[in-house]
Amino acid sequence: MSLYRTELRRLAKRRFTRWATLLGLLVLAAVVVGVFFTNEKIGPAQLAQAEQRAEQEYQQQVRWSEQERAACEAAKAGGTAEPDRYPEDCSVISPPPREAIEAQWFLPSTFDFRESFGFTLLPFAAILALVGFVVGASFVGAEWNTGGMMNLLLWRPKRLTVLLTKLAALLSGLLAVALSAAVLWFAGFWLVATFRGSTEKMTSGAWQSFALTGLRGVVLALVLATAGFALASLGRHTAMALGGAIGVMVVGQFALGILLDMAGVRFAEAWLLPTYAMAWMQKKVTLQDWQSCNATFSGECQPATLDITWQQSSVLLAVGVIVTLGAALWTMRRRDIS
């Protein structure tokens, strides 16, 4: 029997894999349902209601201005005017122009597919990455913890082949789930935009951009699954990967962020891993340093900026995979199996 098929079947039959995948899919479905019920399609009735509310807001501003101007004039006449409350000339207290209060401020939330769908790919990638990490860690960690790895190596003594085949089964299974979830994610939000928003202005370029962003999300999930798998193999226990992830995020990220902020380091976010994950998904993240000032020709102060690109993030992801997986393969070859 093929070792790859055996590992793929073992992955699919693990209860933790099934429950973790189901939980991740339920969370994704809950996001789609939540967006559906919190948005509304804009029609003539909604536009008329927004115009009415804008008019009501304008009339309220008019009444408030008249009351304040009358109070100002009364205080001036009685000699009790407070200099910090009223201006010298009470006539300057006037309502804003009618066109300053726009009806669009009062429109209900609506889901414009072209404008809003790109933002939904961030939680999609994050949930997939989390599921991939924990499933990858538990897949090989449970084998070490229960002694299944030792029994498997008695049947197939080639250590690196066994470990890499397990990884291949994990990644192919995750890829199948991720691509299926991506198709459902696109379809779900297209339905949301159809019934609760707008699907206008969608071009081939917009579809290509969304597809590439979704693909980067799938790649991120595969990378984290590989990292979880490698860390669990290094420690021969699932807790090694989960503990390492918690340590990196809590100690290495939060503590480092606080330390860099206290030290006044410029562009402190450039030292934090979430920044590179965001740059990978969004193609570019621009950091700003408000403690410095770049004067423009108009005299305006602009903060210094630093761009983190998806190319830089790809280098970091590649190095992370090479280091963790390389260490796992090296220890698998060097250490005794007992």
pLDDT digits (tens, 9 = 90+) for 186-208: 999 999 999 988 898 889 999 99
103 pLDDT band, cuts 50/70/90, is confident
Task: Give the pLDDT band of residue 143 (cuts 50, 70, 90).
Answer: confident
Whole-number pLDDT of residue 59 = 86
* Beta carbons within 8 Å of 139's beta carbon, 6+ residues apart: 11, 14, 17, 166, 170, 229, 232
What per-residue confidence (pLDDT) applies to 24? 94
| pTM of the complete model | 0.81
Question: What tens digit of pLDDT does each residue of 215-250 get?
Answer: 999 999 999 999 989 988 887 766 666 666 666 666
Residue range 18-43: average pLDDT? Answer: 92
Percent of the chain with pLDDT over 70: 83
- Strand 197-198 to 111-112 pairing: parallel
- Is 90 exceeded by the pLDDT of residue 121? yes
Distance CA 130, CA 28 (A): 12
Higher pLDDT, 273 or 313: 313
Residues in Cβ contact with 144 at an 8 Å cutoff, skipping those fewer than 6 apart: 232, 233, 236, 237
Q: 3-state class of 35 per DSSP? A: helix
Cα gap 268→310, rounded to integer Å:
18
Q: What secondary structure letter does DSSP report for 251?
A: I
